[in-house]
Structure 1
């Protein structure tokens, strides 16, 4: 099987006819048709419905075209990565959750760039559970994630090292009116509109107890939205929909500008730790260098 056969098949789908696809691929139409046949023979299935008047894929062709496209893209990405590693050395892979990608990671990357501009790094941003899974499987060399204070991750792993980078408060916030007062100020006898986290999310579990239990005892709660997306909660809070709990690092600018106001004194919120992790048995130069910088004087959370 030749890679060019898959390229031909995808080019045929994009061009719409054998003649246009052959022209794009710089071969004659008979040669192009033979290559499509060779791909079908290698796969053992027909991809093109040759009884149709116009180009039409068979059910197998339609079903598996996205997988062939994805496989080809992955193969080219692997080739590029292997070539770059052979010339420049391996990149360290750092995984972190979406919220930290927006709030803390930019400061950390500027710190890396200032002190180690030639250190090779690839960042992967995912939800928190996927970050942890990827790191545990060894698909990432470094991880930066949020934890509940006093509840570190992966404590049973002797081959993983943890470094606390700082702490940040999860703050309940409301949009403000023209006078700078909170649009949703808690009162014992008024409904309290809350923008909540999905119960299965990390921040949803962080807020579940004792904070939510206490608030439900004190106020008449109205859940106006529930989502796992922290950035979405920030935007909904800014729109005035209700009160949401957000990491301080994500809303520093909005608190300073007065677009959001803290209700921490009234509603409270848990303290989070931001920690870095690395594999001690799978380390190499780029990862070691970045980990050393994280130990020295990393930017404040």
Structure 2
């Protein structure tokens, strides 16, 4: 099997006709058709319904088109990483949750780049649970995540090293009026719209009790949106659709500009710790992981 056969098949789907696909692939149409046949022979299934006058994919082709595209993309990405490693040396991988990618990671990356521009680092942003799983499975060297104050993801006996990088408050906020006051009157309003986090998410579990529970006890709460996408919650809050708890570092400028008003005094909010984990090792080497870990333990920007 040749990789170009997969590329031919995907080009055929995108082009819509054999003639246009052959032109895109810079081969004659008969040669292109033979390569599609060779792919079908290797797979042992037909991909094209040749009884139709128009290009029609078989059920097998429709089912496996997306996996083939994903496989090809991952193959070329792996080739790119291998070439980069050969040319520039090994690469350290840091995985972090989406919220920290926006709020804290830019400052940390700038700090690391200023002090060790030669240390190659790749960031992979994902849901917090996926980040933890990737780190545990050895698919990432460093894990940057939020923890509820007083708890830690891993202990020193679990083969990882940890350094706290600062604290982060989850602040209850809503859009502000022209005078900078909350548009929702917590003294007199009985109905309050809530923009919440998914129940199974980390922030959803952190806020469920006592913060949102207390809100539900005191008010008629309407859940207008539930998502784990923190940036989306911020945008919905700025649009005036409800009350939400957001990381202070993410909304600092909004509070200072008077776009959002804090409800912290009335509703409260948890304190989180931003921590970085590293797979265990002696930490005395010259690999990118060791260099970056020493810097993270030195004087990084505070969360």
Q: Is TM more than 0.5 here?
A: yes
What's 2:288 paired with?
286
Say whether residues 1:211 and 2:208 are aligned partners. Answer: no
What's 2:64 paired with?
64
TM-score (norm 2): 0.93
What's 1:111 paired with?
111
Distance 1:46 1:90 in 2: 42
The answer to which of 224-233 and 287-296 deviates more is 224-233
Deviation at 1:190, TM superposition (A): 2.7
Say whether residues 1:53 and 2:44 are aligned partners. Answer: no
Distance 1:133 1:154 in 2: 12
Deviation at 1:113, TM superposition (A): 1.5
SS of equivalent to 2:81 = helix
Say whether residues 1:130 and 2:130 are aligned partners. Answer: yes
1:20-59 superposed matches below 5 A: 20-59=20-59
Distance 1:227 1:18 in 2: 44
Deviation at 1:220, TM superposition (A): 4.1
Say whether residues 1:299 and 2:267 are aligned partners. Answer: no
Aligned length: 301
For each residue in 1:182-220, what CA deviation from the matched residue of structure 2 results, as whole angstroms up to 9, or x when unmatched? 111311663233222222111111112222333344444
For each residue in 1:69-110, what CA deviation from the matched residue of structure 2 results, as whole angstroms up to 9, or x when unmatched? 221111111111111111111221111111111100111111
TM-score (norm 1): 0.94
1:138-157 superposed matches below 5 A: 138-155=138-155, 157=157
The answer to which of 95-104 and 22-31 deviates more is 22-31
1:192-211 superposed matches below 5 A: 192-211=192-211
What's 2:18 paired with?
18
Distance 1:67 1:225 in 2: 32
What's 2:268 paired with?
268
The answer to which of 98-107 and 5-14 deviates more is 5-14
Distance 1:62 1:144 in 2: 39
The answer to which of 264-273 and 210-219 deviates more is 210-219
CA RMSD of aligned residues (A): 1.9
In structure 1, runs of 5+ residues without a counterpart are none
SS of equivalent to 2:182 = coil
CA contact (8 A) 1:188 1:220 kept: no
CA contact (8 A) 1:16 1:55 kept: yes
Give the direction of change, closer, same or farther, for the CA distance of 1:27–1:216 in structure 2 (3 Å limit). closer
CA contact (8 A) 1:188 1:219 kept: no
SS of equivalent to 1:145 = strand
For each residue in 1:106-143, what CA deviation from the matched residue of structure 2 results, as whole angstroms up to 9, or x when unmatched? 11111111111222111111111111111111111101
In structure 2, runs of 5+ residues without a counterpart are none
What's 1:173 paired with?
173
